[in-house]
Amino acid sequence: MEHHTIGLTLKVWRQKNNKAKGQFETFNVKNISTEMSFLEMFDVLNEQLVAENKEPVAFDHDCREGICGACSMYINGRAHGPWHNTTTCQLHMREYKDGDTIVVEPWRANSFPVLKDLIVDRSSFDRIIQAGGYISVNTGNAVDANSLPIEKHRADESFAAAACIGCGACVAACPNASAMLFVSAKVSHLALLPQGDPERKIRSVNMIEQMDKEGFGSCTNIGACEAECPKGISLENIARLNREYLGAVFSGDSQNA
């Protein structure tokens, strides 16, 4: 692949901690190879800051191969930047031209408070899973795996929903900061499988209740979540969640939830 180097102006959100007031800070970086990933470009910036005896920009990242869900930058007004179906760590610098200005912010949502610079607290997602995002089976209780055939297309659909990496881009992209795509992906993953059937009503009711408790907004069918989701989680999951939820509430079976 042909490559060259570029220089950029970065406007990055800086915030000392959860209580401090944040502001944008402007940096210039040079000699950025177009073969770098977006986070490697930040590595260059941070090395530069350390050399100048300044504090580097804090950002969440770990696997750098698009699967752990840690990275979470809001780039020029888009969660994970301009590439479709791509996490921040997989966005590469060949997207940019010499002299470009890039604005980088953390996820913005009341339920994701900023901890430092570009790092937010996403533990609300874990608490939603705690409310019911599982199948209640203890270790050692399982029957033979092939005793329960599952239609291929159902298994595939379940897998497509289970591909969610819990990064929170859906919330960051939504004008209402709704977590419906995240919740619906988990409800769909489990509701599509026969193993998940016994708890499906309680699950959807409890997860929705927890989502509301965490302060996430309501879904108004805008679709920004699907557009920005790095794993291509479909809006159809939200429709399925609504059916699951209504079915559970109207059947009255969710009382002991």
Contacting other proteins within 137-156 (CB under 8 A): 137-146, 148-152, 155-156
| Helix runs in 88-217, H state only | 123-130, 152-162, 169-173, 180-191, 200-213
Is there binding between residue 9 and other proteins (CB under 8 A)? no
Provide the minimum distance between the beta carbon of 242 and other proteins in the complex, in angstroms, as a whole number: 21
Provide the minimum distance between the beta carbon of 250 and other proteins in the complex, in angstroms, as a whole number: 25
CA dist., res. 202 & res. 133, Å (int): 10
The H-or-E segment that residue 6 falls in is strand 5-14
Q: For other proteins, what does the binding mask look like between residues 111 and 140, x meaning CB under 8 A?
A: ----xx--x-xxx-xx--xxx-xxxxxxxx
Q: Write the DSSP symbol of residue 180.
A: H
Among 55, 94, 89, residue whose Cα is nearest residue 70: 89
Provide the minimum distance between the beta carbon of 171 and other proteins in the complex, in angstroms, as a whole number: 14
Closer Cβ to other proteins, 100 or 222, answer by number? 100
Is there binding between residue 44 and other proteins (CB under 8 A)? yes
The residue within the footprint of other proteins, chosen from 25, 65, 98, 212 (CB under 8 A), is: 65
The residue within the footprint of other proteins, chosen from 189, 201, 203, 240 (CB under 8 A), is: 189
**How would DSSP label each residue in 238-252?**
HHHHHHHHHHHHHHT
